[in-house]
């Protein structure tokens, strides 16, 4: 059996079949590790009515800002949309976007649970706050916890530093952030990378995301760092 080819020749080809209404996770934090090539590809492709799961909602037209500017996004799950998320904030204030705010670590853990086949879990975060409102609460060994649901998506758009042709991934510094978790929690994970190397060239001891979690690989434009 030959291995399935995961490397796509262009960004546009890698995002061509994203349908209207899809739910997509986007990696990235603080300007680092955003799949900006894929975001720009999705802007060109034009899918609409999207649901987005991301720590934040862009900076001006940068990062996810472009998709908000194009009015491609209707639903958002985020920890910190951000004061610089101009287009998101305008559409949120106008009541055009449905938002669920989630504590950042719980956003991670809900995705991690989904990827690990855990449907829900009890958490201490948000107990007694508006985050806990309406959620099942239980006292376990004397402490209060709320039930949080696992969070999956149709696609994860992520960025890594290096991939081999099988889809094993290595990240760079704090650009790792949400990318490895999201790769485990989506039906299909699309990664843009600074460099694609032959299978076998990555040191197995240093691989962060094993190939089983990656479906499509595309070369990002421009290597930011050697």
Partner 1 sequence: MPKARLTREQIAERAAMELPNGAYVNLGWGIPNLIAAYVPQEVTVHFHSENGILGMGPRAKPGDEDLDLVDAMKVPVTLLPGGSYFSQDDAHVMTRGGHLDICILGGLQVSERGDLANWRVPGAKGAGGIGGAMDISVGAQKLIVTMEHTAKDGSPKIVKTCSYPLTAIDCVDTIITDLAVIDVTPDGLVLREVAPGFTPADVQEFTEPKLLYSANVPEMRLQQR
Euclidean distance between CA atoms 163 and 165, whole angstroms = 7
Which residue among 17, 124, 199, 221 contacts partner 1 (CB under 8 A)?
124
Judged by CB, which is closer to partner 1: 17, or 137?
A: 137
Residues sharing a CB contact under 8 Å with residue 21, sequence separation 6 or more, in sequence order: 48, 49, 50, 51
Pair of tokens at residue 159: 């960025």
Rounded to the nearest 5 percent, the helix, strand and coil shares of the chain are 25, 30, 45
Pattern 149-178, binding to partner 1, x per CB under 8 A?
----------------------xxxxxxxx
Q: Which of these segments, 16-24, 38-46, 65-73, 106-114, binds partner 1 (CB under 8 A)?
A: 106-114
Cβ–Cβ contacts within 10 Å for residue 195, how many? 15
Q: According to the binding rule CB under 8 A, does residue 30 interact with partner 1?
A: yes
Q: Give 78 or 153: the residue with its C-beta nearer to partner 1.
A: 78
Closer to partner 1 by Cβ: residue 8 or 92: 92
Q: How far is the CB of 112 from partner 1 (least distance, A)?
A: 5
CB-based contact 129:106 (threshold 8 Å): no
Closest residue by Cα to residue 178 from 78, 47, 82: 78
Using CB under 8 A as the criterion, which residues of the chain lie in contact with partner 1 when the complex forms?
29-33, 55-56, 78-83, 88-89, 92-93, 99, 101-106, 108-109, 111-112, 123-131, 171-181, 208, 224-225
């Amino acid at each position: 059996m030959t291995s399935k080819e995961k490397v796509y020749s262009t960004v546009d080809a890698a995002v061509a079949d994203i349908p209207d209404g899809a739910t997509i996770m986007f990696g990235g934090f603080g300007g680092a590790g955003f799949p900006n090539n894929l975001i720009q590809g999705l802007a060109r492709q034009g899918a609409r009515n999207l649901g987005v799961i991301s720590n934040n909602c862009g900076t001006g037209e940068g990062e996810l800002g472009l998709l908000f500017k194009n009015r491609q996004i209707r639903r958002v799950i985020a920890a910190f949309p951000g004061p610089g998320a101009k287009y998101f904030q305008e559409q949120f204030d106008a009541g055009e976007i449905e938002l669920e705010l989630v504590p950042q670590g719980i956003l991670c853990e809900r995705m991690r649970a989904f990827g690990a086949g855990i449907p829900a879990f009890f958490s201490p975060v948000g107990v007694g706050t508006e985050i806990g409102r309406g959620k099942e609460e239980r006292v376990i060994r004397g402490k209060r916890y709320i039930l949080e649901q696992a969070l999956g998506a149709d696609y994860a758009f992520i960025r890594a530093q290096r991939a081999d042709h099988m889809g094993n991934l290595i990240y760079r510094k704090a650009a790792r952030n949400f990318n490895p978790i999201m790769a485990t929690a989506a039906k299909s994970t699309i990664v843009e990378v600074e460099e694609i190397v032959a299978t076998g060239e990555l040191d197995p001891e240093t691989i962060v995301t094993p190939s089983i979690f990656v479906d499509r690989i595309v070369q990002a434009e421009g290597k930011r760092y050697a």
